[in-house]
Amino acid sequence: MLMGTMPPTEVYPSERVIVLLSCVLSFLGSSLLVFTHALWPELRTRPRQLLLYLSLADLLSAASYFYGVLQDFDSTSWDCVLQGALSTFSNTSSFFWTMAIAFYLYITIVRGAPTGTGLLWFFHGMSWGVPLAITVAAVALKKIGYDASNVSVGWCWVNLEAADQVLWMLLTGKLWELLAYVILPVLYILIKKHINRAHAALSEYRPILARAPAFQPRTSIADKKLILIPLIFIFLRIWSTVRFILTLCSSPAVQNPVLVVLHGIGNTFQGGANCIMFVLCTRVIRTRLLSSLCCGRYGGLHQPSQSLEGGYQRTKPRKNTEAEQMNAEFAST
């Protein structure tokens, strides 16, 4: 019905090289996130713990996509099914963990509700359990296989011979991708509005905070992350969605080389993007890494007067305001 009427999309060697490089960078970025989490226990906040699980999913996703692109399958085989199952599970799990982080920040910052281990176990059940159940069902029903690269870039996903292709494409990825397009911007906009309202209320009776050296940088960093997280996610994933829609319409534009490359990078670079955002753009992590590489020590990072995001606090301790606590919670991720 869907792909059987369309010719296979040829993935040229140059396109494969670009996507393979994206897989490698994503794998290294996810590995670096896991490494920093294991190396510095004092930085293991709950948001970063959730980020660890997202990194594990992205790491597996990058490895499975790498194998699929490298093999460039032209038919359904046992390793095609295995690769398709691993990438389906890890990619869907990545969607769930990405939304779990957004829900956690919304619950803690906007609702102010206490979060215990129960919520974490719920996230585990949803983010590992649901993708696993979907993947097992897809494999058992022989829905995973060769897809002619019309909705992939060399790797295997939903078998083009499956009669209900669209349903399984939705269940094994596209449904959660489309939901994330809506849920992530809404949650992060609500978080940002809540923080802005807290700042506005605070400034009415504590204008002196506007001159606090540690407050403005941390606020600015948190605000930038609130904007960039959903934008980066949508920018990376939108090309896959566009090719999915073009395939549904049987449009030859689905084979456009630029679109194919953007799809390949978008699906495989999530771990690299998270590394840039939460390691390289998080000052305390970046500084520790540079200190470890260049000096073999952390310098003044163990001083208790330094904030988590890198802005120095006053020597005299002062009580954190609600707005500062919210920014510290988010900027530290």
The mean pLDDT values, 10 residues at a time, for the chain of 333 residues are: 69 94 96 90 85 95 95 90 96 94 88 80 95 96 91 91 90 94 92 80 55 48 70 92 92 92 95 90 83 61 37 40 50 57
* pLDDT (0 to 100) of residue 289: 83
> Residue 314, Cβ neighbours under 10 Å: how many?
10
Token pair listed for 14: 């140059």
Q: Distance of alpha carbon 318 from its chain centroid, rounded? A: 35
Single out the residue of 23, 158, 20 nearest to residue 85, CA to CA.
Answer: 158
* pLDDT (0 to 100) of residue 125: 96
Q: What are phi and psi of 157, to 5 degrees?
A: -145, -115
CA distance 21 to 107: 37
Q: Where are the alpha helices (DSSP H) in the chain?
A: 13-39, 46-71, 78-105, 117-124, 130-140, 165-169, 175-205, 215-248, 257-268, 270-275, 283-294, 322-331
Tokens 């002619």 -> residue = 148
Contact status, residue 273 vs residue 296, Cβ threshold 8 Å: no
* pLDDT (0 to 100) of residue 311: 35
Single out the residue of 241, 236, 310, 243 nearest to residue 280, CA to CA.
Answer: 310
- Using alpha carbons, list the distances in angstroms from residue 165 to 137, 188, 263: 14, 33, 19
* pLDDT (0 to 100) of residue 199: 67
